[in-house]
Structure 1
Amino acid sequence: MPRAARPGERAVPGGRAGAEAGLRLSLTIRATPEATREAVSAVRGLMAQAGAAPGLLFRVELVLAEVLNNIGEHAYGGAGGRVWLKARMEGEALCVTVADRGRPMPGGTMPPGGLPETEVPCERQPEGGFGWYLIHSQADAVRYSREAGQNTLGLRFAPRAGA
């Protein structure tokens, strides 16, 4: 059962939130679409408070939504398991760690992030398979580990020229 937010914290439906000094955010949520939206919004709020560039905000929102939705769909199979998210601003960059206790990545490693084959007839065009490409192309660093039954994904986002 999530605890109520303390003064100075932001409540996240379906989860627990705690804002710390130094522009940090720690959330515990359920892997649901509603909680994903609220978590992405909370991270956006942290970044806005730090004065992050609009292009950086967009990239982070896109990747976090993909990551959290993937956890719900693939790691937990739609069962709405628990997800832990920590975010911190490091100067103009954002570092995010997302952890869950769902199924491990296939083969125990993170997908490489290549695009699926698209030079095929329309009826064979892929409907999915673009998520890891999106994650790898929009984050500046991506790392994955599986230890003691927990998946941990680390992401780093830095401002990019012209964005």
Structure 2
Amino acid sequence: MSIVQRAARPGERAMPGRGGDTAAGLPLSLAIRATPESTREAVAAVRGILARSGAAPGLLFRVELVLAEVLNNICEHAYGGGAGRVWLKARTEGDALCVTVSDRGLPMPGGDMPDGALPDMDVPCEFQPEGGFGWYLIHSQVDSLDYCRRDGENILGLRFTPRSGA
């Protein structure tokens, strides 16, 4: 995993909170291998940078949950468990944290991301689904979500804004 940090461009702000300078870690850019180990390292690195920037615990939890799910989905589905690269960029826009995750793996089925509906739980216990909850979690924890496939690359945009009480 490589972490590349750069100075803020005019008009950019660091994550709101203590200090609030780009030395606290934003904007940031990561390039990682699509493996479970690299996913854990990347999520921990982003969480650490945001924590040092003074992000609220609720925001840290949401970002950590969503990034773990997104990066694991890329490992498992976009690259089918094989090796590949993932790029993650984060920046702030006002009070919002904007994260872009891109990869060159397989496109989303049907060319669009899943809608985030929960699987049918109104079935006997032995038929309860073991999976299918990830996109629901992603949709429920972000404030906006965009996906496109461009020039052989999947690009997922995530936007997190502070929520009251979190």
- Tell me whether the two structures share a fold, i.e. TM-score over 0.5: yes
Alignment of 1:63 with 2:92, yes or no, is no
Aligned partner (choices 116, 120, 125) of residue 117 of structure 1: 120
2:147 is matched with which residue?
A: 144
Give SS of 2:64's match.
Answer: helix
Aligned length: 149
Alignment of 1:18 with 2:18, yes or no, is no
For residue 122 of structure 1, report the CA deviation from its aligned partner. Answer: 0.5
For residue 93 of structure 1, report the CA deviation from its aligned partner. Answer: 2.2
1:76 is matched with which residue?
A: 79
The one-letter code of the counterpart of 2:136 is Y
Measure, in 2, the Cα distance between the counterparts of 1:110 and 1:41. Answer: 25
For residue 19 of structure 1, report the CA deviation from its aligned partner. Answer: 1.6
Task: State the Cα deviation string for residues 38-84 of structure 1 (Å, max 9, x = none).
Answer: 11112112211221100000000000000000000000000021000
Give SS of 1:112's match.
Answer: coil
Of 44-53 and 120-129, deviating more is: 44-53
Measure, in 2, the Cα distance between the counterparts of 1:90 and 1:58. Answer: 19
Aligned partner (choices 111, 132, 137) of residue 134 of structure 1: 137
Map 1:99-118 onto structure 2 (within 5 A).
99-118=102-121
Measure, in 1, the Cα distance between the counterparts of 2:94 and 2:49. Answer: 13
Measure, in 1, the Cα distance between the counterparts of 2:96 and 2:110. Answer: 31
Measure, in 2, the Cα distance between the counterparts of 1:115 and 1:161. Answer: 25
Task: State the Cα deviation string for residues 110-131 of structure 1 (Å, max 9, x = none).
Answer: 1110000001001110000000
2:97 is matched with which residue?
A: 94
Unaligned runs of 5+ in 2: 8-21
Question: Which segments of structure 1 move beyond 4 Å, counting only runs of 4 or more?
Answer: none
Measure, in 1, the Cα distance between the counterparts of 2:91 and 2:45. Answer: 12
Q: Is the 8 A contact 1:86 1:97 kept in 2?
A: yes
1:50 is matched with which residue?
A: 53
Q: TM-score if structure 2 supplies the norm length?
A: 0.87
Map 1:1-40 onto structure 2 (within 5 A).
15-21=1-7, 22=22, 23-40=26-43
The one-letter code of the counterpart of 1:36 is T
Q: TM-score if structure 1 supplies the norm length?
A: 0.88
Q: Is the 8 A contact 1:24 1:46 kept in 2?
A: no
Measure, in 2, the Cα distance between the counterparts of 1:93 and 1:53. Answer: 12
